[in-house]
Amino acid sequence: ATHRGELAVLHIPGDLLTWNGFVNLMDDIALCWILGMKIVIVVGCRQQVDDRNGEGTKRSNAHIRVTDSDTLRILEEEAGFVRFEIERQLNRCLRLHGGGDVSKTPNAPNGNVLSGNFFSSKPFGVIDGVDYQHTGRPKHLNVKRVLDIVDNGDIVLLTPVGIGPTGEGMNVNSESLAAFVAASLCANKVIYCSNDSMLLKDNDSGKTVQNFRVKDSLALLKHFEVDVHGNYFVTVGKETEEKNFREVAMLMKLGWATRALQDGVERAHIIAPTNGALIEELFTAKDGTGTCISHDTYESVHPEDDSGDNEMSNTVDYREEFVAALAEEHEPKWPKAIGVDLQ
């Protein structure tokens, strides 16, 4: 298989656990593992915490949650729930594909889903006058332990609950955690699966933009005033802040994915995990189903076909035109975000 032996960090937001295609996503991840990929999963639980907290008590600034003691307790409980659900469903898929019952299929790969406190965290503290309390950022990952696990054929599962300097729990944004983990492991890929996943379309040409180089992505983020800092704290410009949540969420994922590539990851993908989309993105389609970001022109396309070099040249020219359109001072071409239907 094309990606055999490669290490991929996948981010799964908590709201996907209630999506009717969640089991199919677990099947796709299990199939990637069967095909020889090393898998680390970072699962979020924002939706579960919001449902428990209620809209009236939800506090955030620049889309980063302010976590008080009551919210932290809810987070710890919901993180345990989403961890169990991922373990339960993924272990079922591994057994289904012959990866969990050696007595029935002795020649099949054998794997388990392992979770634990593999990373420490550090509080954001007070930023621009806002005390983020128990909200923090990832500080250190036990790289050797994680690599030992995936090299042994098992899957690592992380939740957004980190351990602070004095042993207290910390709420770490799961998207930023995925980027941090991927960079710390020098992963081949970081993959964001989200029902907020969107595709960008150049209004000038009408073409959908699915492939970015890092510099293209940085130009786009600069245009929308989205900045992911070295501590993985994200800031969003005022005009962008006023856009709808799905557009801002997509831009923030693009920001964290780009930060991961700047910190050493080879390639990033943002996909809507419809049935088979993960497999199609990684193994089959030339254009894939989502957005792909990589370091240079030749890596920035999805798995290639036999259409020759002309297709590659056209892709390069198009990207240059797209970035030039974004950078145009007098009449900026704002990309139009188009939603992905998960039904």
Q: pLDDT in tens for each of the 343 residues of the chain?
A: 478 899 999 999 999 998 888 988 999 999 889 889 999 999 999 999 999 987 545 566 656 788 999 999 999 999 999 999 999 999 888 887 665 454 555 445 577 899 998 999 999 888 888 899 999 999 999 999 999 999 999 999 999 999 999 999 999 999 999 999 999 999 999 999 987 557 777 777 777 778 889 998 999 899 888 988 887 778 888 788 777 778 888 888 999 999 999 999 999 999 887 777 788 888 775 666 788 899 875 444 444 444 433 332 333 333 344 333 333 333 333 344 433 332 2
Report pLDDT for 130.
Answer: 87
Q: Which two tokens stand for residue 303?
A: 């798995």
Q: What is the pTM of this model?
A: 0.82
CB atoms within 10 A of CB 330: 4
Instruction: Give residue 286's pLDDT.
Output: 60
Report the distance separating Cα 38 and Cα 29, nearest Å.
Answer: 10
Strand partners, 236: 226
Residue 1 inside a domain? The answer is no
Q: What CA–CA distance (Å, rounded) separates 249 from 193?
A: 12
Q: Is 188 part of any domain?
A: yes
2 part of a folded domain: no
Helical segments of the chain, H only: 22-34, 46-53, 69-96, 143-151, 174-184, 214-223, 238-241, 245-262, 277-279, 309-327
| Structure tokens, 90 | 């993924």
Handedness of CA 70, 75, 80, 82 (dihedral sign): positive
CATH code for position 301: 3.40.1160.10
Residue 191, domain extent: 7-339
pLDDT at 85: 94
Q: Give the per-residue pLDDT at 305.
A: 42
123 in helix, strand or coil? strand
Q: How many domains does the chain have?
A: 1
Non-local (6+) Cβ contacts of 288 within 8 A are 210, 269, 271, 280, 281, 282, 302, 303
The answer as to whether 53 is a domain residue is yes
Residue 82: per-residue pLDDT: 96
Q: How far is CA 28 from the centre of its chain?
A: 16
Burial of 310 (0-12, 13-18, 19+ CB in 10 A): exposed
